[in-house]
A and B are shown apart, each in its own frame.
Chain A
């Protein structure tokens, strides 16, 4: 039960961490990796931006490894939560928002539509600075109301 709570808590705090990382690191000193996600300058299906999957995988592996050495204690579950967040990120960001797989195109869920709108807004800024909507699963309220 406590492990379940850890997973949930870490999963939620990952949203905050992602916001910080996106705003200050991806749009900061690692902009070289994130740039092509905004301007689509890389040919082919793999963007340089996809290297962030590796950057998130490394701490997840380390945490799950050291956690399992200690008999699968809370450290393991923190790593597990990061992995789950990575999967959620993939499904929502890669598949749903950027349509790398053409699924759920015609969704009517207001949450998902708002999510897509907010992320589009983020992508409108093609340069490193002056971005907005750095979050990911959390959507600011204002994106809900604009219904055709």
Chain B
């Protein structure tokens, strides 16, 4: 059982959302195409980032909890992570977007972008030697500047709000990966390369990393969704 731990975590994350996708009121399955395109598009740079960090020992995996199939230094489960986790995230966002009118939140975009950029810039400036911290802060600044000032996305606050709710799932899933309830963590972090602030077992950087990834996936998801509906 132990070698399937990581796999089972992913399976569990996807399973509930997948079943619910076919619900008549949700019908998320109609958007699987747009989702898979956006997830793969975003997965590519994030997997490369992951591979690079693994090579440099910024984090590493405990293969006791994985099936043993390894590609480019990453267990196959870690690659699936970039499809499975965004799936439940986009699904949740989609549900909120369909059932609750969250458009009114868009007035908060200015303050969210303003504060996030100030905090991320400060942290990046103060800790350029901590690779995980630095790269995550920079990636988040870039996505926020791009979405707010170039794309002029109106949904930044909406997505941030949903991400806050997604924390309910993030804590158990990422918690187990980082060692909650296990003898040893599945993902281990080099203490020199991150701030060392953990929420339970999860490094704060993970939450910000997830946030940047989430924003990218939603951005492309909306793009492909629009394209599909304009064709269909």
Q: Total interface residues on B, using CB and 8 Å?
A: 21
In the assembled complex, the Cα of A139 lies from the Cα of B33 at a distance in Å of 55
Among A68, A69, A86, point to the contact of B114 (Cβ < 8 A). A86
In the assembled complex, the Cα of A54 lies from the Cα of B117 at a distance in Å of 9
Interface residues of A toward B: which range? Answer: 20 to 34
In the assembled complex, the Cα of A51 lies from the Cα of B149 at a distance in Å of 8
If over half of B's interface residues share one DSSP class (helix, strand or loop), that class is named, otherwise mixed; here it is helix
Q: Cβ of B107 and Cβ of A57 under 8 Å apart?
A: no
Against B, the Cβ 8 Å flags (1 = close, 0 = not) of A39-77 are 000001110001101100100110011001100000000
B54 within 8 A of A: no
If over half of A's interface residues share one DSSP class (helix, strand or loop), that class is named, otherwise mixed; here it is helix
Q: Cβ of B118 and Cβ of A61 under 8 Å apart?
A: yes
In the assembled complex, the Cα of A106 lies from the Cα of B39 at a distance in Å of 44
Number of A-B contacts (CB under 8 A): 56
Cβ of B43 to closest chain A Cβ, rounded Å: 29
Q: Which residues from chain B contact A91 at a C-beta distance below 8 Å? A: 111
Which stretch in B56-64, B121-129, B184-192, B209-217 binds the other chain? B121-129
Known: A53-B114, A91-B111. 19 other contacts (CB 8 A): A45-B106, A45-B107, A45-B154, A46-B149, A46-B152, A51-B149, A53-B110, A54-B114, A57-B114, A57-B117, A57-B118, A60-B118, A64-B118, A65-B125, A68-B122, A94-B111, A100-B107, A101-B104, A102-B104
Which of A's residues lie within 8 Å of B, judged by CB? 44-46, 50-51, 53-54, 57, 60-61, 64-65, 68-69, 83, 86-87, 90-91, 94-95, 100-102
Which of B's residues lie within 8 Å of A, judged by CB? 104-111, 113-115, 117-118, 121-122, 125-126, 148-149, 152, 154
